Amino acid sequence: MSICLLISKNGRHKPIHLPHLQTVVLGRSPETTIKDKKCSREQVELKADCNKGYISVKQLGFNPTSVDSEVVGKGNQVEMRSGQQLHMVNELYPYTVCFKEDPSNSQSSVSTKRPCGPASEEREFHREPPGHKVPRKTEDSTQCKHGGSTSTNTRPEPQTTEKTETLGYWSQGLKASMQDPKMQVYKDDRVVVIMDKYPKAHYHWLVLPWESIPSLKTLHRGHCDLLRHMNQVADRIVQQQCPDAGLLHFRQGYHAIPSMSHVHLHVISQDFDSPCLKNKKHWNSFTTDYFIESQEVIQMLEKDGKVTVKEGTNELLKLPLCCHVCGMALSTIPQLKEHLKSHPYGRL
């Protein structure tokens, strides 16, 4: 399959990879180098169809995005093909689209992928631009599946003995993402932090242990230290990567019944300003008791040696929409999103 590249015509930055059928939101951010306030941080939503050879361009921002001088219009969507020109906003910041053969399809490129994880005690931060709301997906989700034949690093490999944990199923996606250097924001000998692939707020990271822990049910008292460390790492990420950390409210916690396998701590800003937040389930999973505070999980482990999820927790996802800050009831997701603009920092 070919890959899709969005190329800045005036060479402002390197080409942006648009993964096949994956929504990518671009706008004013370090990634595009656009600082123009007329350009929203979420100006356009792009989705490439590498099979059909076009990208869908949806204007999210208020000011006009255009394709070949034709304004898309807020909320509208058009198709753009090779040879056409996208202007991010106000007929400025031109881009072209290019479909070309994926060089990573060759076997040699797979074997030269990053050997999994850092050496023991290694700690490093990768400062990714937070404005890029949908991090690019790995070109090869099977990378590191076998640890890399030449790897000499000492980090414990994920357990691959359980047949049910075969990579490739959608619910196993985190295992691939956490191994992908492009997704990693921080890693040390115990944990890795990645940006959520479909962030539900302006800032949304996942902290995952290298140790294979399928779910909250598998946690025991011996994991308390690890969970405390995950919390500390999360605190540091927020401080280091979020310039609004003083104003913007954050929460750290776990979904009671997560869809994705492998224990992951959500670190999420409470603005919930994201095009990826689309439905009631998304909303209630972060704003009801379906979201269990990290401290509460640690306390349960310390006290009971296990995490207990209350009966009926799944029903919380069906609750009526209700503002997490002021409690106001909203009848639809669009109305909720409009209301959330009155709480930009996620608190009163």
Partner DNA sequence: GTTCTAGAAC
Residue ranges that bind DNA, judged by CB under 7 A: 21-23, 170-171, 197-198, 255, 258-260, 276, 278-280, 282, 285, 321, 331-335
What three-state secondary structure class fits 16? strand
End-to-end CA separation in angstroms for the chain: 49
Measure the CA–CA gap between 315 and 246, rounded to whole angstroms.
34
Tell me the sheet residues that pair with 59.
44, 74
Q: Looking at 204, 262, 264, 324, which residue is catalytic?
A: 264
Measure the CA–CA gap between 323 and 343, rounded to whole angstroms.
9
Tell me the sheet residues that pair with 268.
204, 251
The dihedral of CA 217, 291, 244, 12: what is its sign? positive
Can you read off the two tokens belonging to residue 19? Answer: 């993964």
Amino acid present at 6:
L
**Can 264 be counted among the known catalytic residues?**
yes
| Closest distance to DNA from the beta carbon of 35 (Å) | 28
What is the side-by-side strand order in the sheet with 16-18? 16-18, 2-8, 92-101, 85-89, 66-67, 70-71
Measure the CA–CA gap between 133 and 43, rounded to whole angstroms.
11
Measure the CA–CA gap between 348 and 341, rounded to whole angstroms.
12
Measure the CA–CA gap between 158 and 140, rounded to whole angstroms.
18
The dihedral of CA 220, 223, 227, 228: what is its sign? positive
Measure the CA–CA gap between 125 and 187, rounded to whole angstroms.
7
Measure the CA–CA gap between 291 and 257, rounded to whole angstroms.
9
Cβ closer to DNA: 118 or 258? 258
* Residue whose token pair is 């790897």: 151
Q: Could you give the residue numbers annotated as active site? A: 264
